[in-house]
Amino acid sequence: MNAIPVTVIADQAAEASPDFRTWRIFGIDDALVTGIIDTSHSGFHGMVLLANGETVLINPVKDKKTRKYISFSEKSQNKRQGEAFSCAVGDDHSTHSAHKELEALDISQSPMPLSRRGTPTKTLNYDIIYTAGNALVKNVGGAAALDNVINTMHARISLLFWRDTAINLLYTAGFYDTSNAYLSGTTSSALMNANPLFMQALKLSYPTMPALKNYDLSFALSYGAQGSAGNGGLAEVGTVCNGRKDYAALIADNPNGSQYYRLVAHEIGHQFGAWHTFNKCILSNGIEAARTKDSAVEPGSGGTIMGYRMACVGPNGYVLDATNADNNIFHINSISQIVSFSRGAGLSCGLASSAVNNPPTVQTAAAYTIPARTPFMLKGSASDVEGGALTYSWEQVDKISSLDFFSTAVSLNEDNGKDALIRVFPPKNQPRRYIPAMDKLLSKTSSPGEFLPVTNRKLTFELAVRDQRGGVGSSQTVITVQDTGAAFAITNPTQTDLRGSAGKDLNVQWNVAGTNTSIFKCPSVQIAITTDNGASFNALLASTTNDGAQIVRLPATLPVKSHLRVMCSNDTNVFFAVSGTSPSLATKK
């Protein structure tokens, strides 16, 4: 890897840890690998974002004799989903004084137009201050140890914001309330409300301190015992640069845990104007969390940074792939909200860098019409002026239709014809996505968040393309789903072992499902075969009339498992059928 020095801590904060150094890392053999590493007297820390979407953390292990390190994937860790943790932004707290203010902001703070969104060409720099209560100071072993925890936490947060939103967060100073005069609240709400008082007291005590004059946002940290009802985060939305910039806090039980930095990043995302992305979530107290009309773009709990994956409990219908913790990205809708805020109200204190990085240029087809209950693919292309290593993520952006701030949500894998249905996966190195994923389709296994639509509806997707260096571009495709009463599906053959027909003619039959009408633009189809579990498809017949039957000659040699595919020829549409499969269908709501 190439390691490029980067400053994420200002001189004043660095005085507490003079040997702390940080590098952004970029893969040489695999340019899609990125991350951030840091070193200090406390040891070496790393966060590596792999090309397959996994996040690998490297941390030192306490040992009196030798310095040891542990390297692990976040995906392998037990995340304790739903264990008395929540973020209170948007929840129905009748006593929350800021609720009406937040609701009004949600209406007025509009993201960029959907058709094409992206980051600006110059990075914006913001100064952040961290505060901490005495409980956290004691838990980690003193102020010096907490300095190291915050340094590494902040380095990881800064990478996520820089990569996805072209924002560079500079840790300016840290202040610890060891007297417990202010930051001793037992809930995130109490902690958040105490932080402005603490910051005010600091300004009165140190009126000449540069960091206290010029900071753009602050964040309060505290410790809560595992399973405590106080565990959680809270932040007001869109407060960077203004008089509410101190209203953000987190109480959590493991500041050295693999998810601590992500929880803080979630709350800072609120401060920069981003709302929750989840659609359906039951909290540990049995209450359904309130979704937000401009942001409920992910099914179930959501899986991106502004989702609620850590907070949901209950049946699988409410938790989106709880074993996959590696979706360390901001949803394109969150990116749009953050960029809109930082280039709007948040521009009053953000300082633009001189360096220029152009976001990728993204191309997708404008629209397709497909039959319900039928697999389909999404495809596009992108280019980058600077030649960056690009990653691709197809993300549904349909928002809830109700204007009610607290509206009834559908569960994961339910289709009401309007709300989010398809989940986001970590970015990949190619712009094509099968829905459902090809490996799930061929193995006849369900993929939560990829159940196929069964209603007449529209599915709006954006292809978000990242250059790993603060540039994000996107383009939109609208899929109109038409319920023709049946799926476009292969009815013969139904088996996957085709060796008995190797080298012979085979009568391939499929249910046309009305797709030979003009609205589907599929007068002819291609018939292809895969012998490598969907990694590639080789055409047996380039084009034949879409009439439901055609004789083709199979290859002379076939493996134990083969699948035929029928799809529109000449790329006129994106739906398809694969033999020997039974795609999972959403439940009509």
The enclosing domain of 179 has a CATH number of 3.40.390.10
Check residue 230 and give its pLDDT. Answer: 54
Same domain, 350 and 367: no
Cβ-proximal residues to 268 (8 Å cutoff; 6+ apart), any chain? 128, 157, 161, 169, 217, 219, 235, 248
CATH, residue 373 = 2.60.40.10
**Given 356, 385, 413, which residue is the final one in a domain?**
356
Nearest to 368 by CA among 585, 547, 576: 576
pLDDT of the residue at 293: 78
The stretches of 63-142 forming alpha helices (DSSP H) are 99-108, 134-140
Secondary structure of residue 217 in the 3-state scheme: strand
Does 102 reside within a domain? Answer: no
Amino acid symbol at 354: S
Output DSSP code: residue 193: H
Query: Is residue 320 located within the same domain as residue 403?
Result: no
Identify whether residues 546 and 454 lie together within a single domain.
no
Range of the domain at 502: 489-588
One domain, residues 331 and 237: yes
The answer to whether 355 and 122 are in contact (CB under 8 A) is yes
- Looking at the fold, whether 139 and 223 belong to one and the same domain comes out as yes
Instruction: Tell me if 109 is assigned to some domain.
Output: no
pLDDT in the model for residue 529: 98
Helix ranges restricted to H, 343-418: none
The answer as to whether 108 is a domain residue is no
307 plus 193 within the same structural domain: yes
Q: Which two tokens stand for residue 400?
A: 């809830």
Q: Which tokens go with 155?
A: 């380095």
pLDDT at 249: 96
Is residue 111 one of the residues assigned to a domain? no
Single out the residue in 482, 502, 524 at which a domain terminates. 482
Whichever domain contains 527, its CATH number is 2.60.40
32 lies in the same domain as 82: yes
DSSP string, 216-269: SEEEEEEE--TT-TT-EEEE-SS-TTSTTTT-EEEEES-TTSTTHHHHHHHHHH
Name every residue whose Cβ is closer than 8 Å to that of residue 510 and which is 6 or more positions away in sequence: 488, 489, 490, 491, 525, 548, 549, 566, 577
Strand, helix or coil at 390?
coil
Boundary-marking domain end, from 312, 339, 356:
356
The DSSP symbol for 345 reads G
For the chain, the domain total comes to 3
Q: Using only C-alpha atoms, what is the Rg of the chain? A: 26
* pLDDT recorded at residue 347: 93
Residue that the structure tokens 């602050």 belong to: 218
Q: What is the pLDDT along the chain (589 residues), one digit of tens a residue?
A: 899 999 999 887 888 888 899 999 999 989 889 999 999 888 999 999 998 888 999 999 877 677 789 898 887 664 544 444 567 664 433 233 333 333 333 333 344 444 456 788 999 999 999 999 999 999 999 999 999 999 999 999 999 999 999 999 999 999 999 998 999 888 889 999 999 999 999 999 999 999 999 999 999 999 986 555 556 899 999 999 999 999 999 998 888 777 889 999 999 999 999 999 988 888 777 778 877 878 999 998 888 999 987 677 765 445 555 445 568 999 999 999 999 999 999 999 999 999 999 999 999 999 999 999 999 999 999 999 999 999 999 999 998 765 444 556 778 889 999 889 999 999 999 999 999 999 999 999 988 899 999 999 999 999 999 999 999 999 999 999 999 999 999 999 999 999 999 999 999 999 999 999 999 999 999 999 999 999 999 999 999 999 999 999 999 999 999 999 999 999 999 999 999 999 999 999 8
